Amino acid sequence: MNIPDDLKYSKEHEWVKVEGNIATIGITDFAQGELGDLVYVEVETVGEELEKDEIFGTVEAVKTTSDLFMPVSGKVIEFNEEIDENEGDNPSLINEDPYGKGWVIKVEMSDESELEDLMDGEAYRELVD
Amino acid sequence: MKETALTQIHKDLGAKMAEFAGFNMPIVYSSIQDEHLAVRNDVGIFDVSHMGEFRVKGPKALELLQKVTSNDVSKLKINQAQYSCLPNHKGGIVDDLIVYKLDEEDYFLVVNASNIEKDWNWIQSNNDMQAEMINESDRIGLLAVQGPNAGEVLQGLTDITLDDIPFYHFRKGTIAGIDDAIISATGYTGSGGFELYVPDHKLPELWKAIEAKPCGLGARDTLRLEKAYCLYGNDINDETSPLEAGLGWITKLNKEVDFNSKQIFIEQKQEGITKKLVGFKVNDRRVPRHDYEILNEKEEVIGKVTSGTQSPNLGTPIGLGYVAIDYSRPGTNILISTGRKHLKASICKTPFV
């Protein structure tokens, strides 16, 4: 299972990549494997200020529906247009490349200290093994 | 958790395994969509040996089966199978099943894995006539080979002419060198094919002899749902009437002998049912799921979703659910509540595909 060491992880199986005060957020390789073929990703929170643990979107797989939770607080500034149904509409990118082309949203963080609550690669590996 | 004789083979193939009805079963090997489309267009193979099998034999066998099943077993010919259900005493369904007539006074019942013990106890409690009953669930394995090319793939393994077996008929014989197999032209996918019953310990050699795409329970569910086949525990249960579930065709109210709940069903038919299991298509990208509420256009609750998925063949979300009878006509606009959102949907004719 692919768990890059340069990312942060939430217990809800999201990954966070930090560049300045911008966090790019996606679904881990483990999570996409558990969900199976993704058919739709709904994110209607672009422009909104959300608290950590609030729901920012929903993913639909063939078998199951799963909510997506904010791993950190902040303003949702972008939804990956390759996934967005109004643009590329290609949610299978998350299955194919969960840490790359399959990123989901970008967030302008409001409290960078929350990053300390997230797991590093090693801790996340322990959680899912 | 129980295993089938193929559990190790599934793991070696990289299947995602999960508990289903007490068994460790393959849910998906590659992708549900790929497996689904392999069955629709070519051929797939499923390990469904978790299913339960009972033998009912002797001079009282027919009498017992006529009492506990809703379909008319007296109409079955040797080498023929019949879809049926076990009504309880209050107009609900204990389980749905297939009844095979192996010989005069010799029947073979195939029941859902989750209900093996419940069905056994239920049929036993009805067995005042003391028909002989044997639980063969642990001894018998079952592979489903499904899809338009199933016959072609299997024909090389048997001398029985598979094209000669009509739908819901079967033959006993040898396949892949395994004697006493039941080769049955049945299935739960709506794409044709066969179900093969063999001794449990012969499953690995049969599995290896068949060249078809391994398919898991995930694809089995999307395949059956596109055909609107009921899944016990989702679409039918102890509280649902077969008439409400669209299973009137296996509920023979004119059967000469009484069967459990026959009077209740006759009254239901005379008075008219108040709710009905229907298919619907969602005009949204979100997928309906079991237990989501169904609303009318005024946002009043009119029913509940029993099964839902993304249809791999249609590329859209579909579902089954019970709605109040006034809303059951195809074309009726409804809403599906995900809890936070209402999805626009409309009742449609089934099967979906």
Which of A37, A42, A63 is nearest residue B286 as measured by Cβ atoms? A42
CATH number at residue B176: 3.30.1360.120
Region A21-36: mean pLDDT is: 96
Please name which of B314, B322, B317 lies closest in space to residue B341, comparing C-alpha atoms: B317
Is pLDDT of A1 > 90?
Answer: no
**A128 touching B (Cβ < 8 Å):** no
Q: Measured between beta carbons, which residues in chain B are less than 8 angstroms from residue A37?
A: 31-33
Q: How far is CA B20 from the centre of its chain?
A: 15
Query: Which residues form the domain of B188?
Result: 7-48+138-226
Looking at B102, B135, B168, the residue that finishes a domain is B135
Does one domain contain both B57 and B115? Answer: yes
Please name which of B280, B291, B282, B290 lies closest in space to residue B342, comparing C-alpha atoms: B282
Q: Would residue B263 count as lying in a domain?
A: no
ipTM reported for the complex surpasses 0.95: no
Q: Would residue B239 count as lying in a domain?
A: no
Q: Measured between beta carbons, which residues in chain A are less than 8 angstroms from residue B31?
A: 36-37
Looking at B135, B150, B184, the residue that finishes a domain is B135
Let me know: does B107 contact B123? Beta carbons within 8 Å. no
Does one domain contain both B165 and B129? Answer: no
Residues in chain B whose beta carbon is closer than 8 A to a beta carbon of chain A? 16, 27-28, 31-33, 218, 221-222, 285-287, 289, 309-310, 312, 317, 338
Domains and CATH numbers, chain A: 8-113 (2.40.50.100)
Residue A123: count of CB within 10 angstroms of its CB: 13
Does one domain contain both B41 and B158? Answer: yes
Q: How many Å lie between the alpha carbon of B225 and the closest alpha carbon of chain A? A: 12
Q: Measured between beta carbons, which residues in chain A are less than 8 angstroms from residue B289?
A: 64-65
User: Do the chains contact at B286 and A36, CB–CB below 8 Å?
Assistant: no
Task: Name the phi and psi angles at B47, rounded to 5.
Answer: -85, 110
Q: How many Å lie between the alpha carbon of B70 and the closest alpha carbon of chain A? A: 32
CATH number at residue B334: 2.40.30.110
Number of domains present in the structure of chain B: 3
Q: What is the mean pLDDT of chain A?
A: 96
> In this predicted model, what pLDDT tens digit does every residue of B189-218 receive, in sequence order?
999 999 999 999 999 999 999 999 999 999
Does one domain contain both B43 and B61? Answer: no
Does one domain contain both B173 and B131? Answer: no
Residue A129: pLDDT band (50, 70, 90) is: confident
For residues A41 and B349, give the distance between their C-alpha atoms in angstroms, rounded to a whole number: 28
> In this predicted model, what pLDDT tens digit does every residue of B255-313 receive, in sequence order?
999 999 999 999 999 999 999 999 999 999 999 999 999 999 999 999 999 999 999 99
> In this predicted model, what pLDDT tens digit does every residue of A78-126 receive, in sequence order?
999 999 989 999 999 999 999 999 999 999 999 999 999 999 999 999 9
pTM greater than 0.80: yes
Does one domain contain both B26 and B171? Answer: yes
